[in-house]
Amino acid sequence: VAPIKFLAKVASDFQKPGGLTVVTDADMSGFLAALPVGRIPGVGRRTLEALGLLGIRTAGDILAHQPEFFARRFGAAGLELYDKARGIDPSPVVTGRRVKSVSAENTFERDVASREVLASWLLRQTERVGRELRRKGLCGRTVTLKLKYADFRQITRSKTMPEPTDCDETIFAVARDLLEAVSLDRPARLVGVGVSGFHAVQVQPSLWYDPDASGSAGRYRRLDGAIDAIRDRFGREAIHRGRLFPGVQGPRGGGASGQS
């Protein structure tokens, strides 16, 4: 029993089977200070090794550094780790239905006939969807393109990948291929992208530091983590990818949404 979600889980493991550990608000700081970092949910073997190389073995050791120290090395997950060491856990207790899809779409003020412009908005939407997937700890295998034409005819096209992902670049590549395959014989009024076919992940692969990550996959994971960290700290408009085309008129529409 503890005041915050992740600490309650840690406390429940201390005296298994059948025991009970109670951590009160007054006890929490002392309990956390001595807590080995390996007991913090989300810290896997590789992250534990990386922290060990930095001389960090307890939650108390984490607080000896500034949050920027962890953001530079671990991205958004580093800030999450720092918050947990302080006794802050914003993750909700989930009791409802499972999320079946995460999607983002935009309706344009003026109909769009350019495939290039539509692709640029797919990239923006992919970033929103990918960030929401990583926030929820989800990876999906199926990418769906949604397109509504000026005459209100609507089509969807989907592709299922061999492996689940939460990587912006992978999701966008599939969505772009789906867009290339559809007809644009008339302008589009709406475009959107969604991800489904989820596999829950204990550690968010696009956020946690992976010293073995190499090649383009590793670079994209680190890029996603860095962008997430900047936007978490300074807002969504603080950074944009260079491939987003300047001067494109803003459409109507919001952030990523989940459907259960």
- Residue 14 and residue 246: Cα distance in Å, rounded? 54
- Residue 71 and residue 81: Cα distance in Å, rounded? 10
Top pLDDT among 74 and 200 is at 74
Top pLDDT among 186 and 234 is at 186
- pLDDT at residue 2 above 90? no
- Residue 5 and residue 169: Cα distance in Å, rounded? 32
Exposure b/e, 129-150, CB count within 10 A at least 16 = b: bbbbbbbbbbbbbbbbbbbbbe
Q: What 3-state class would DSSP assign to 94?
A: coil
Spell out the residues 6+ positions from residue 254 whose beta carbon is closer than 8 angstroms to its own.
104
% the chain with pLDDT above 70: 65
What would the pLDDT profile of 110-153 be if each residue is shown by its tens digit?
999 999 999 999 999 999 999 888 888 888 999 999 999 999 89
φ and ψ at residue 140, rounded to 5 degrees? -120, 155
Domains of the chain: 5-85 (1.10.150.20), 101-249 (3.30.1490.100)
Which ranges of the chain would DSSP assign to H, the alpha helix? Answer: 5-14, 25-33, 45-53, 59-62, 67-74, 76-85, 115-136, 168-181, 215-234
Q: What 3-state class would DSSP assign to 181?
A: helix
Is the separation of the CB atoms in 112 and 253 below 8 Å? Answer: no
DSSP state of 20: -
What would the pLDDT profile of 204-214 be if each residue is shown by its tens digit?
443 333 433 44
pTM over 0.75, yes/no: no
